[in-house]
Chain A
Amino acid sequence: FSDDPVTDDFWDELEESLILGDVGVDTTEELITELKRIMVERRITKRGELKAEFAGLLVSRLEAVPKMGAPLDLSAKPSVIIMIGVNGSGKTTTSGKLASQLKGEGKRVIMAAADTFRAAAIEQLKAWGGRAGVRVVAQAPESDPAAVVYDSIMAAKASGADVIIADTAGRLHTKSNLMEELSKIARVIKREIPEGPAEVLIVLDAVTGQNGFIQAETFAKAMPVTGVVLTKFDNTSKGGIVIAIADRLKMPIRYVGLGEGVDDLQLFEPKTFVETLLDVRDAE
């Protein structure tokens, strides 16, 4: 109970809940060391107080990263948003949700079907375009993704659209030829829009373990990542790897995906995230 004194059990439970939440061993140990320091410094003796202190510590770590939970910066016209990430993480679905949301805010949105590789990826994005009431620029399967993005920029300029959302093919960060394809897309955008893409969002499944860190680190080398979307957060998984991503890579988490419906996308809230993470044991 919250008035109980802090015992060894407290630390064991905390460690367990963080590791089960995919925070990772290194980050867990570092956070626990920091909390022990705070406990001594502030002479905290009660579990409840210490737990609250820890939640505060996590929230302030997350909030220390610029643009954490911040809405997209779409001041440029047109603003290009690129969705990148490993296979199956939720890029196409998130593109559709975002398109619908931005359209609801009165923006004129175009989607670019730059996944020309995966079977029926273009149809999938078109279905989302239909749901969101947004035009989808596409070419035939197997065509050059950079050319599709180029087309979408031309279409946006011609029609005065505000935002382009480019859905790219899933790729494992270990495949250098596929990572080079992303760099090429970035170059094509820069040629047409000197400031480059407005937002590059890496889409990360909340169920991902320690590999998520390497994904974020490696994708950022191919494209200037401006944030993370944490999808499938409607499951019991906690997505704890984003703490290391935020803390060490200074990458903000911008959105969370909370389902498969068109409205299931929300801005990331550090406080809600931390509360969910620290409830691991209570949920069992």
Chain B
Amino acid sequence: MFDSLKERFENIFANLRGKGKLTEEDINIALREVRRALLEADVNFKVVKDVVEAIRTRATGRQVVESVTPSQLIFTIVYEELVRIMGDAPVPLAVSPKPPTVYMMVGLQGSGKTTTSVKIARRMLKGHKPLVVACDLRRPAAVDQLRVLAEKAGVPFFGPEPGERDAVAVAKKSRAFAESRLCDLIILDTAGRLQLDDELMCELEEMKSASEPTEILLVVDSMTGQEAVNVADAFNKRLGLTGVVLTKLDGDARGGPALAVRAAAGVPIKLAGCGEKTEDLELFDARRMAQRIIGM
């Protein structure tokens, strides 16, 4: 299970070496392996279809067919296509020309929103004065979690009054607090929710209109399977995402959701979480991600 694409290619093309020109059938065999590898990397079924067709078009070109190293060439085409889909250059977080800049973190339960809120705040300490705001009033101890992480990272924190149940109200109040502390960047940590939970999705819509976020960032666990497309699509339709953060890349998940999310929501993946500590955040690198997906 889970051989890298490179290993598979070496196996296939070893048999073809010295055979002269590639036939269409040879290319089909190679593409079947590409398809398998992408599916095993959790790239969405429908996205895989499109990617494989794009690769087929390029791989049936004369250059490949007559090449003495077809394996290498097809491999390069696969790599380039993946990079193209995920977006070439890293896209930085937007900063509002009219402060405060507001980021809203959204996503499924347990994807990494709270941790990532503090990671981003910490990263923005250079040049900004960020404030993290606990708008998850549902999960037990979610407010404490954000407070503890913020304290450790040296980031100002704003949370609800005891007994407060309205997350939108907390988001609204955080603005005045930010102003009083001269914070120019507000990061709203929201409760995890399923994309099909209408009531909770409404809450996010209200929070959006109340706080006019500069960025609405979907936080996606890199271990997510085929469902990543539906999640990204649903959150995007309801809220209009501006970017994605892919988390838990310090593990060995191949990271197919990177392609899927990008294809479904059309927004850039901006950041990559690569550990539990608040310094473990990197700019998303499409090239490294493509290498990881195909096991280079």
Contacts and interface: CB of A to CB of B under 8 A. Distances in A.
Contact of A119 (B1, B144, B228, B231): B144
A123 B110 contact: no
A53 B280 CA distance: 49
B198 interface: no
Contact of A211 (B45, B196, B252): B252
B40 A120 contact: no
A210 B225 contact: yes
A235 B144 contact: no
Given A16-B45, A173-B251, A127 B141 contact: yes
Main secondary structure of the interface of B (DSSP, over half): loop
Contact of B251 (A174, A232, A234): A174
Contacts of B251: 86, 172-174, 211
A209 interface: yes
Which of B110, B149, B251 is packed against the most chain A CB atoms within 10 Å?
B110
- Determine the interface band of chain B, counting residues with CB < 8 A from chain A: 35 or more
Interface string B131-164: 0000000111110111111001000000000000
Q: Tell me whether chain A's interface is mostly helix, strand or loop, or mixed.
A: loop
Interface in B210-269: 221, 223-228, 230-231, 248, 250-254, 256-257
A213 interface: yes
Interface in A235-253: 235-237, 240-241
Contact of B276 (A19, A118, A126): A118
B112 interface: yes
Contacts of A172: 248, 250-252
Interface stretch (A2-10, A21-29, A190-198): A21-29
Contacts of A176: none
Contact of A260 (B112, B138, B225): B138
A88 interface: yes
B168 interface: no
B196 A209 contact: no
Contacts of B111: 88
B20 to A, nearest CB: 31
Given A19-B39, A209-B42, A237-B227, A90 B110 contact: yes
Contacts of A212: 223, 225
A25 B226 contact: no
A18 to B, nearest CB: 10
A26 B2 CA distance: 10
B108 interface: yes
A65 interface: no
A209 B257 CA distance: 9
B170 interface: no
A215 B251 CA distance: 10
B31 interface: no
B39 to A, nearest CB: 5
B1 A26 contact: yes
Interface centre among B112, B139, B257 (most CB of A within 10 A): B139
Contacts of B142: 120, 124
Interface of B: 1-2, 36, 39-42, 44-45, 108-112, 138-142, 144-149, 152, 194-196, 221, 223-228, 230-231, 248, 250-254, 256-257, 276
